[in-house]
Structures are given as C-alpha cells and as structure tokens.
Amino acid sequence: MTLTKTDEPKKSPHLLIIDDEKEVGEFAGIVAQSLGFEFTATTNAEDFLKALDDNITLIMMDLMMPDMDGIELLRLLGQQKCRTTLILMSGYDKRVLETAEELAQTLGLSVAGHLQKPFRLAELQKLLKGYALLNLVPQVARQASKAVTKDELLRAMVREEFILHYQPQLNIANGQVMGVEALVRWQHPERGLVYPDDFIPQAEVLGVIDELGWYVARLALSEIRQFVNKEGALLKLSLNVSPQSLHDLRLPDTFVALARQYGVAPENVVLEITESGLIKELASALDILTRLRMKRVHLSIDDFGTGYAMMQQLRHVPATELKIDKSFVHDMHQLNSARVVVRKTIEIGHELGMKIVAEGVETKEQLEFLRINGCDIAQGYYFSRPIPAAALLDWMQHYAPLNF
Ligand code: C2E
Ligand code: MG
Ligand code: MG
C-alpha cells in the first residue's frame, strides 16, 4: 500500500515511512505534514524501495515487521550508499534500538534518532522538528544503484538474463588450476552487465534469493562439466550461497540430488557463505551446514576477517576452507596489521584443518607473501578476472604454470 501526498510547488522535506502497521505510518505522516513535510507511507519492502528516490529526505523505519527484517533493510541501504537520514522505530527494548542505531552508523548511514513504540506524539514532533531545523535546505538523497523490483528479478530469471562468469583458483604450491568460482551477473537488456552487489542484496530483501540461488546452482552445475585439469579430473566448483537460503532443512538433500543429476560429485562442490552472514544465521544454519558436510559438500567461509566473528563462534562451523577477504590481501604491502591478520588466519585455519584461500590477489608480491606463509590457494586478477566459461577454457589452454 502506498499513500502519497505531493504536488506542492516549493520543495519541502519528504518523509518516507515503512511500517507494516498502516495506522502508524499514516499517523506519522500526518504529524510530519503538519510540520511542513510531504510524506509517503509504505507497508512493505517492495513499495518502500520503489518509493525511495532522490526526493526523499528522511526515512522512518520500523525494525520489526512480520515479513521483513528491518536489519536486512538497513544493510541494503548501507550497500546502496543511501545518504538519507533515518529514524528507527521498534517495539523492542531500548538496547535493541541503540544497537541497531550503532549498526546503521557502521554501515555509513546517518541516523537522526529512534522511537520506541508506542511513542508519544511529542516525541515524534521533537525528532521531526529537530531534523527540519538542521536541514533547512533539504538534503538530496543519492542512490548509488537503481532499486530493483521483485517482478523484474523474477522476469529476468524466466528470460535467463542471469549469466555466470568464472574465476580460476590456483594451487599456490604448484601453480595448477584446481577450481573455479562462479560469480553471477545480470545481462540487463537496457542497463548492460549488472554486478551482483547491485541485485543480490535486493533479491534477499525481496524474498527471491532462494530462486536465484537455485538458478545459479543449475547453471553452474551444467557448465562445470567442461572444466577438467590435465589429468582429466573435474575442477572444483565454488558457489556463493546467501545465508538467507540456509533455512530449509531439505536444502542438503535437494542440492546433492541436483549435483548428481548433472553428474557432479558433492565433494567437487564448495559452498561459500560469508562470515558476516554465518554469524547472523549461525543457530539455524549449523544444522544445514552439518548435513551438507556429512554429504561431503565442502564449505567455505567467505570474506573472512570482515565479519568481526570470534574464532569461538566459527569453531562450530564445519567449514573446510577459509577465504581471506581481499581487503587484507590488498593492504598487505603497506599495513603490518593486514600482514598479521593474513599470517594468523593461515595459521589458525590450518590448525583447525581448513584450506586457506586468498582472494583478490593482484600482484606477484602478494602471491610471494602468501606462498612464504603457507597459504594454499590463490584467486585474483593477477591470474584472471572472472570471465565467461568459454573465455576461461581458452585462458586455461594458454596458461603456463611455469611462469607462475
Ligand atoms: P565474493 O564471493 O567475495 O567474490 C569475490 C569478488 O571479488 C568478485 O566480485 C570478484 O569479481 C572480485 N575479485 C576477484 N578477484 C579480484 C581482484 O584481484 N581484485 C579485486 N579488487 N576484486 C577481485 P563480484 O563478482 O562483483 O561479486 C561480489 C559478491 O557478490 C561476491 O563476493 C559474492 O559475495 C556475491 N555473489 C556473486 N555471485 C553470487 C551468487 O551467485 N549468489 C550469491 N548469493 N552471491 C553472489
Ligand atoms: Mg565468494
Ligand atoms: Mg569474498
């Protein structure tokens, strides 16, 4: 449901509200209107994202909605580099609101304050007046990427507009290609090639990430059969899995059956889950991860080092691989702290019986440092960018590990 009050000639601040309780949104809107705001009230994520354009100067967001996780929406706004100021609302206790406010700030979002529900009229007026005073000239919101709708994503799947690029993974000890990571791209009819950071978070928020995940799995499993090493053995396939998809207990069985259908053994697949996603979903995900592992599927902790996880938490994850985030690899040459993180990650990972992959390897120096410190696998532009399957096959024919 979208309720809009606009069409005034002079530019006044525009409040966008998302609250599953229609009455709360309308109430807040009317209060804002009395203070000179325009407003748009929405009750679900899809309408909210559609309404979020450059005219919006202030967002009021409920953190607890039945079919939508407010924290997830905050992350999406952070990823989209949203500059619009936020007011957070929730019926949770104050500590939760304060934590959410801190999270929003670490995501680079600006927060004007929070309201604990049920809030009083005066509290809301105070926040809105404070905002209006500080922003006599309305701030213009800038969205880094265009909002995508659920229909667009579903349609793109039907039209098979999602394609995969593959990036090789090399064994550092002998320079052999041992696997490929599949990375999804959207071949958009008007926008050209769209990268995953511009549609995966949206697919998660809009509830179509499972469909997209299965689409990617089927496509990758069908394409991987072409990739064999010199001995004729199939290369390993790494697939990125959204932590949100780790809720269905049937996933391990369904996935293994699908792999078999394409003639790919489960031990030939590595499922990558980001460290931050893992921590968030740890309780529900552990069961599924353990079952996947029992079926011999490999598990990798992606973007390791960025999720602020405690080893204590990750100890329980039956992962077989750790992927050091590319930001550490990038900073290795200039920051001692990055070198320490990389060295210690390799050491601890090995002690826990995991293989260590370094992503984002771009230079010979980085590769040398990783080799000296016993890192197992490297992936990055130094070898190849992610490219279509046919191009990678061609690259493999010309690649000579002797020059490694
Ligand atoms: P990721 O899994 O950590 O993938 C690595 C990202 O680093 C890729 O970005 C890759 O193109 C980029 N990269 C590789 N080598 C280098 C390098 O040497 N230097 C630099 N600067 N970057 C490098 P990409 O393809 O844009 O993907 C971004 C993220 O989107 C992925 O991060 C992954 O988390 C997510 N993603 C990609 N495909 C899928 C998918 O099918 N499903 C899900 N759920 N997520 C996906
Ligand atoms: Mg990955
Ligand atoms: Mg990564």
- Taking the CA of residue 203 as reference, the ligand 1 atom at the shortest distance is 44
Q: Is the CB of 302 under 6 A from ligand 1?
A: yes
- Taking the CA of residue 382 as reference, the ligand 1 atom at the shortest distance is 18
- Taking the CA of residue 183 as reference, the ligand 1 atom at the shortest distance is 38
Q: Candidates 183, 333, 359: which one to mutate for ligand 1, based on the most atoms within 8 Å of Cβ?
A: 183
Q: Closest Cα to atom 46, ligand 1: which residue?
A: 240
At a CB cut-off of 8 Å and minimum separation 6, what does 272 contact? Answer: 181, 238, 239, 240, 241, 300, 301, 302, 323
Q: Is the CB of 27 under 6 A from ligand 1?
A: no
For residue 18, how many other CB atoms are within 10 A of its CB? 25
At a CB cut-off of 8 Å and minimum separation 6, what does 136 contact? Answer: none
Q: Which of 3.40.190.10, 3.20.20.450, 3.40.640.10, 3.40.50.300 would CATH assign to domain 150-398?
A: 3.20.20.450
CA of 373 relative to ligand 1 center, distance in Å: 24
CA of 243 relative to ligand 2 center, distance in Å: 12
- Taking the CA of residue 323 as reference, the ligand 1 atom at the shortest distance is 3
Q: Closest Cα to atom 20, ligand 1: which residue?
A: 360
Is the preceding peptide bond at 66 cis, omega within 30 degrees of 0?
Answer: no
Q: Scanning the structure block, which residue is given the tokens 């659920």?
A: 150
Supply the DSSP string of 113-176, one letter for each residue. Answer: EEEESSPPHHHHHHHHHHHHHHTSSPPPP--SS----HHHHHHHHHTT-EEEEEEEEEETTT--
pLDDT band per the 50, 70, 90 thresholds, residue 189: very high
Instruction: Collect residues with CB below 5 Å from ion ligand 3.
Output: 302-303, 359
pLDDT digits (tens, 9 = 90+) for 203-239: 998 999 999 999 999 999 999 999 998 888 999 999 9
Q: How many residues appear in the chain?
A: 404
Q: What is the mean pLDDT of residues 63-80?
A: 84
Is the pLDDT at 116 greater than 60? The verdict is yes
Is the pLDDT at 118 greater than 60? The verdict is yes
At a CB cut-off of 8 Å and minimum separation 6, what does 77 contact? Answer: 59, 84, 86, 107, 109
pLDDT digits (tens, 9 = 90+) for 351-387: 999 999 999 999 999 999 999 999 999 999 999 999 9
Tokens of 153: 């994503």
Q: What is the mean pLDDT of residues 286-299?
A: 95
Q: Is the CB of 197 under 6 A from ligand 1?
A: yes
Q: Is the CB of 208 under 6 A from ligand 1?
A: no
Residue 167 and residue 183 in contact, taking contact as beta carbons nearer than 8 Å: yes
Rounded to an integer, what is the distance from CA 326 to the centroid of its chain?
Answer: 15
Of 358, 1, 362, the C-alpha closest to 181 is: 358
Query: What pLDDT is recorded for position 313?
Result: 77
Q: Is the CB of 80 under 6 A from ligand 1?
A: no
Q: Is the CB of 366 under 6 A from ligand 1?
A: no
Q: Is the CB of 240 under 6 A from ligand 1?
A: yes
Q: Indicate the pairing of strand 192-194 with strand 177-188.
A: antiparallel
pLDDT digits (tens, 9 = 90+) for 119-172: 888 889 888 888 877 664 333 333 445 678 999 999 999 999 999 999 999 999
Cα angle 379, 356, 221; round to 5: 60
pLDDT digits (tens, 9 = 90+) for 261-274: 999 999 999 999 99
Query: What pLDDT is recorded for position 12?
Result: 81
CATH superfamily of domain region 4-136: Response regulator (3.40.50.2300)
Q: Candidates 242, 272, 299, 359: which one to mutate for ligand 1, based on the most atoms within 8 Å of Cβ?
A: 359
Q: Is the CB of 326 under 6 A from ligand 1?
A: yes
* Segments making up each domain of the chain, as ranges: 4-136, 150-398
